[in-house]
Structure 1
Amino acid sequence: MKDLTAQSNEALKYLKQLNLHLEQETNFLPKQTGLNLIESAPENDNCVSAKRRDAKVEDLWSLTNFFGFSTETFVLAVNLLDRFLAMMKVQPKHLSCIGVCCFNIAAKMVEEECNIPPTHDIIRISQCKCTISDLKRMEKIISEKLKFQFKAITALTFLHLYHAVALSHTSERKEILNLDKLEAQLKACYCRFVFSKAKPSVLALSLLTLEIESLKSRDLCEIAQRVQKHSRIVDGDLLYWRELVSKCLAEYSSPECCKPDHKKLVWIVSRRTAQSLHSSYCCIPELPTIPEGGWDESERREFINLNPRSTQLITKHDPILTVQPKHLSCIGVCCFNIAAKMVEEECNIPPTHDIIRISQCKCTISDLKRMEKIISEKLKFQFKAITALTFLHLYHAVALSHTSERKEILNLDKLEAQLKACYCRFVFSKAKPSVLALSLLTLEIESLKSRDLCEIAQRVQKHSRIVDGDLLYWRELVSKCLAEYSSPECCKPDHKKLVWIVSRRTAQSLHSSYCCIPELPTIPEGGWDESER
């Protein structure tokens, strides 16, 4: 078995970090005596039990998801909570305030300042019964007891390091470990009190080895064994925690398992209360709040073929607010209008009332203006987005500048048309623009059977740091989408729905660049009789 140190500079850098974290990890562990007291505590009103601690951690997970914070924030919040509970005797009535306070400290340590909501909003959304002054006092107590040591070394720290070490030592890119999946599994483990007793390095390696086992990769198994040896983790400890992790994940995936309750965070507020909430996550003051997931795919598809730019705005708007299907038409037209203003020449942009007419949207100009204001504020006026189209143009230009095989020049119009087809499928909203663009490009190059272009595409992939696993996954989805889109069964954007008969007076009032000829009656295309012609 090769030594881990006999590798590249990048691998050596990771190992140096690993050694440092292994030395320091015990400094951020909860006190064992305190954890034992919590574990043996009875279910009564005088002390915090393991069950109450688990319930509070699940609340922290819900808050993390609600605010869109990272896994690092959640893991750090749990670490602070466990360290404090293992140090102090806490009454159950104070647990809610402590939990929210740990969450707030973790968010300040990890998240961008502009993304952190005001304290009073965190209190409202968490349904904590404490005041801002209570939270400030509690934060001072926690800070002093933990000696302001907030930048803890957690199981997530080791999980990221182990993952990086594994990737830097393996050439089997098809078997790349899914870090998002590992993080989700770690969060599930943190919702069980027993894992508060685990050393972060051992818990992280337990998750990693279980995942590697499921992949059935010899290469990765060898690397995991070398990592274990380098970290000085004995087989007995690893087997013990692996068994507990496996049991936890099996329970967590079962229907009987009580997962974090997100419904608890859905509530109805008055318009005045809604307006006072932070604009980045509260409901729209001008429209009633409605359940997420009510989007009709056919309605969403209606606007996408018009402009990929408008698609980007719709996609950015989707996860921020809960939207009723009846408002989707207005949002779509508004995103299209904003995109047109950003991209098209001013002289080519039709008046707003004409866009409303032609889109058959049932909103008014004032509705559209209000919606535009809401969308602009929610997206923080960040309209000049970097999209898959941006990368497609760049990749195309790079390919042309590096190849001499002019006969095999890529058709950019065809690639753009394929991109529009992909945007008509919700799944591609989840794809990174660079990966989606490269997926389209490589599929087209494959059909051209050009070695020169294939080499260029591989170089572009390497330069863009796009791993083979991600590219293969999205290539497969793109290929499937394009096959479906070219089939007669596929529901393509319905252009006929925009063909309608209007009076001469209405036709004359429409913008001259796109309306029908006012001097002749509107007739269906293809309806000419050859004798008349």
Structure 2
Amino acid sequence: MLRAGARHPDAADDDSPPVASTSGQAAAAAPDLPQLYATLNEYLLLEHKFQPRLCLPADCENGEVTVGARDGAAHVLRCLKVWFDLPASVLIHAINLFDRFLTKMKVRPCHVPCITVSCMNIAIDEHADLTRQPRNVLVEELVSVSQSACTAGDVARMSRVIVDKLGLVKGCHSVTALDWLRLLRTLVVCAAEELNIDAPLCQESELVNLLEIVVCDAVCANARTSELALVLIYHQLEQQLVEWSRREGNPVPEAAYLLYDYAAQLQAHCHMSDASLVSCRNRVRVVISRYEGRCAATHRQPLVWRLSERTLKVLRPTDRLTSLLPTIEEQHLADASPPRKRSGSEGSDSVDMSDWPRSPILPVYCDH
């Protein structure tokens, strides 16, 4: 639990604004630097408690959960977050719960869908308790949208198991990579304001989007949350320096390089070794480059509609549909066939209609 000297950045308080605003405007609200450093020290003390240590096989061995199953569960959580328009803190907290539970418990692959929905269920409950707002997503809706083949009762029971195994206590909220990111970004923005540097970092939403991409990949699952946040800060500082260097007639301000020194001071304060930070940085770059390459791909796999036999029986046949009609040569037919004399009454049953499509009657589409 956070002690009296620090506060959780998402905590709602009617008396004073939060330390790190969820809307990314912490710098504009003139945050209290001593309070920020007190929160930083508290996060350092609690970091090991919320740190997952996954050791999953790449291939299925003895019915164990694989790395691919973990990434699949993370992407299901992100789909639920987008579907119900949930905040990023719920997604990152749910992924953190999932990784920590797999760290402590050996589960079967058939239980992964239920565990995934249960982690999202717990994260939604904690977010509602943290922000003091009513919960707006029902457990039945989570089960229905996720298609996890479990019931709301299964999710409720699994949620109690996860809470028990992880030792979760109501009112004691986890410190995730998102909390670290918001805190470190606020500190860097405050340092940039003291150095009179404009736009040292991008909007918080862009950093949060990058963090969502990174935490959904098992490559970065075991990285320290503080290192993960600081690596993303470094990444955005590099991007900003590249943009400044491309401007003609407007050199990069010398004070901008001082932000790297300030980030290095944060690294030393958080006891991050250079080797560990470089390793985390390489993993983050691999994940981001893989994601950007996937988004820039020009060749997409075409959609394939798979229909069941029951659906095929209901569909109307389309093999006789044509968009072009043959030209009727009226003059040629008139000359070749002699006029037919009608003798008596002749019904429609006597007319040869063997080439006419039987039931059902199909429409014929023309170009004009």
Report the AA paired with residue 20 of structure 1: E
Inter-partner Cα distance in structure 2 for 1:177 and 1:224: 16
Matched, 1:194 2:219: yes
Letter in 2 for 1:106: A
The alignment status of 1:253 with 2:278, answered yes or no, reads no
**Cα gap change, 1:163 to 1:9, in 2 (>3 Å):** closer
Letter of the 1:117 counterpart: V
- The counterpart of 1:145, out of the listed 148, 152, 165, is 165
**1:42 CA drift (Å):** 2.4
Structure 1 residue 107 displacement after superposition: 0.8
Contact residue 48 and residue 92 of structure 1 kept, 8 A:
yes
Measure the CA separation in 2 of the matches of 1:170 and 1:222: 12
Pairwise CA distance, 1:41: 5.3
Deviations 1:206-256 (A, max 9, x none): 111111111123132222112112212111111111111111101011127
Distance between the aligned counterparts of 1:16 and 1:214, measured in 2?
A: 29
Between the aligned partners of 1:115 and 1:173, the Cα distance in structure 2 is 39
Aligned positions of 1:232-251 closer than 5 A: 232-251=271-290
Residue in 2 aligned with 1:77?
94
Structure 2 gaps, min length 5: 1-29, 242-255, 298-368
- Cα deviation for residue 44 of structure 1 reads 5.8
Name the structure where helix makes up a greater proportion of residues: 1
Within a 5 Å distance, the mapping from 1:284-323 to structure 2 comes to none
CA distance 1:138–1:115, shift in 2 (3 Å): closer
Amino acid in the other structure paired with 1:138: M
Aligned length: 247
Structure 1: stretches of 5+ with no match in the other structure: 1-7, 259-533
Pairing 1:207–2:227 present = no
Please report the TM-score for the alignment, with normalisation by the length of structure 1.
0.44
So what's the TM-score if we normalise by structure 2? 0.63
1:159 aligns with 2:192: no
CA deviation after TM superposition for structure 1 residue 114, in Å: 3.4
Local SS of the residue matching 2:33: helix
Is it true that 1:218 corresponds to 2:238 in the alignment?
A: no
Deviation at 1:116, TM superposition (A): 2.3
CA root-mean-square deviation:
2.2
Q: Distance in 1 between matches of 2:223 and 2:272?
A: 12
Contact 1:11 1:169 in 2 (8 A): no
Superposed counterparts of 1:380-399, under 5 Å: none
Query: Post-superposition shift, 1:75?
Result: 0.5
For 1:236 and 1:153, how far apart are their aligned partners in 2? Answer: 24
Alignment partners' CA distance in 1, 2:149 and 2:293: 33
Q: Is the 8 A contact 1:108 1:116 kept in 2?
A: no
Secondary structure of the residue that 1:90 maps to in structure 2?
A: coil
Answering whether residue 143 of structure 2 is matched by residue 123 of structure 1, we say yes
Structure 1 residues 25-66: Cα deviation after superposition (integer angstroms, max 9, x where no partner): 001112x3xx22x1x252368221011000110010010011
Quote the offset at 1:177 in angstroms.
3.2
Could you say which residue in structure 2 is the equivalent of 1:104? Answer: 121
Query: Percent of pairs identical after alignment?
Result: 28
AA aligned to 2:162 is I
In the TM superposition, what whole-angstrom CA distance separates every residue of 1:56-111 from its partner, at most 9, and x where no partner exists?
Answer: 10010010011111110001000100011111111111100000000011011114
Q: CA deviation at 1:194?
A: 2.2
Q: Which amino acid aligns with 2:282?
A: E
Contact map agreement 1:163 1:177 (CA 8 A) in 2? no
Secondary structure of 1:56 counterpart: helix
Report deviation, 1:176: 3.5
Name which one, 1 or 2, has greater alpha-carbon Rg: 2
